[in-house]
Amino acid sequence: MKDNLMPKFVRLLAFTAMLFFVTGFAECYKPVTKNQLPAHIKTVAVPAFQNNALRFKIQSRFTEAVVNEIIRRGRGLRVQGDREGADAVIEGVIKSFNYSGVLLDDKGRARIFEVTIEVAVTVRDQTENRVLYDNQNFVFRGEYEFANDPRNFFNEEDPAVQRLARNFAESIVSTLTNAIQMDKK
């Protein structure tokens, strides 16, 4: 009879522990459902970023990533390219773009590259004529693998830049909403 009760007791104990664990941490994972921008900001302009890095199309990838992230997380914000008529403006400058080999293959060729992009970004509230956020040294790093065929190098660089642009956009939108929320307190 004791042998029959032991597995049931272990299962009951495991179930209780799991239930306690799940209900105890349920409040830790609340999704952000509210936009923290000032209430008067309904339209955000994201003009094309400037490209001081002289890297082909990099400014358009970063601008597009920021626009997409605001649309995705902006909770009803309108996004436009023109500053005129917008309540806030996000301005960006791609300051530098560098890549370097970080891992060599058995023949001494670089297989994994690290890409570093430095961006200056300023967010202005045009209605109240004030700077909401300013960081002149956003630095992003990412890695990508170099294929055995050197002709594929640029094919693999582009997805790395796209990932960095998405990371930048996620970071700037999160930073902006957190900075605004802290400013309200």
pLDDT digits (tens, 9 = 90+) for 84-117: 999 999 999 999 988 787 777 777 767 777 888 8
Place of tokens 């992009």: 117
CA neighbours closer than 13 Å in the CB half-sphere of residue 83:
11
CA 60/CA 76 separation, integer angstroms: 23
Judging by beta carbons within 10 Å of its beta carbon (0-12, 13-18, 19+), is residue 153 exposed, middle or buried?
middle
Is residue 7 situated within a structural domain?
no
The structural domain count of the chain equals 1
How confident is the model at residue 10, as a pLDDT? 72
Is residue 165 situated within a structural domain?
yes
Is residue 24 situated within a structural domain?
no
Is residue 64 situated within a structural domain?
yes
Domain that includes residue 150, residue range: 31-184
Q: Quick check: pTM over 0.85? A: no
Radius of gyration of the chain (CA): 24
Strands 130-145 and 88-104: unpaired
Query: DSSP strand E in the chain: where?
Result: 43-45, 50-51, 78-80, 88-104, 110-125, 130-145
- In this predicted structure, the answer to whether residue 181 has a pLDDT above a threshold of 50 is no
Taking only the tens place, the pLDDT of each residue in 115-170 is 888 999 998 999 898 998 888 998 878 777 766 665 655 566 677 778 888 888 88
Q: Which residue has the higher pLDDT, 41 or 13?
A: 41
If you count them, how many residues does the chain have? 185
Partners of 98 in the beta sheet?
116
Is residue 8 situated within a structural domain?
no
How confident is the model at residue 163, as a pLDDT? 82
Is residue 17 situated within a structural domain?
no
CA 114/CA 102 separation, integer angstroms: 6
List phi, psi (to 5°) of 93: -135, 120
How confident is the model at residue 180, as a pLDDT? 53
| pLDDT average, residue stretch 79-88 | 91
How confident is the model at residue 108, as a pLDDT? 73
CATH no. for residue 113? 3.30.160.150
Is residue 55 situated within a structural domain?
yes
Return the C-alpha torsion angle 63, 118, 76, 127, nearest 10. Answer: -100
Taking only the tens place, the pLDDT of each residue in 26-58 is 444 444 444 567 778 889 999 999 999 888 888
Is residue 14 situated within a structural domain?
no
| pLDDT average, residue stretch 54-75 | 87
